[in-house]
Amino acid sequence: MTIDKDKQDPESTNGGLTHFDASGQAHMVDVGEKKETHRVAVATGTILMKAETLEIIKSGNAKKGDVLGIARIAAIMAAKRTSDLIPLCHPLALTRVTVDFEIQEMEPGITCTGQVETFGKTGVEMEALTAVQIALLTIYDMCKAVDRGMVMTAIRLESKLGGKSSDWSATKQQKQSDL
């Protein structure tokens, strides 16, 4: 029996990098045999800005319109189009995408939290991360005329639920590494 190099266990051949076959060639992971489960991912990121820029956003007086409303729509659209942007991502039928913003007064900025859900064979981490990043980029685009020095930072996966690799939480990982 010949083993198809694309079907080999990636954990044993590439140190856990699943998007490469045994010979190191990029490939889309085969999820055909995986069970469908409820999958959820939450990501966050922050855009820092001048206090004056934050005030413009809060007041709703930006020249281009409702900054956070448009950023929310852009984020939802981005989550739905992630497989068009990231070459080896599977196209997914998302069941839910939420995008929330929290104003940060102390260090002026806005934190975005994106949550993406599906019932499928692969996770939605990339969709959540893409949603957050595009939300922050949209805020930048809409406010760059008054503040080109904005900085996007701390973009990360907060948690993921469902799937073979079990649940994961950045908070839980941080607590374990503190031991």
**Active-site residue list:** 141
Residue 85's identity, in one-letter code, is L
Closest of 81, 156, 148 to residue 111, by C-alpha:
156
Closest of 138, 137, 40 to residue 94, by C-alpha:
40
Residue 18's identity, in one-letter code, is T
Taken as a whole, the chain contains a residue count of 179
Residues forming a β-bridge with 100: 113
Q: Which pair of tokens denotes residue 33? A: 């045999």
Q: Which pair of tokens denotes residue 158? A: 């907060």
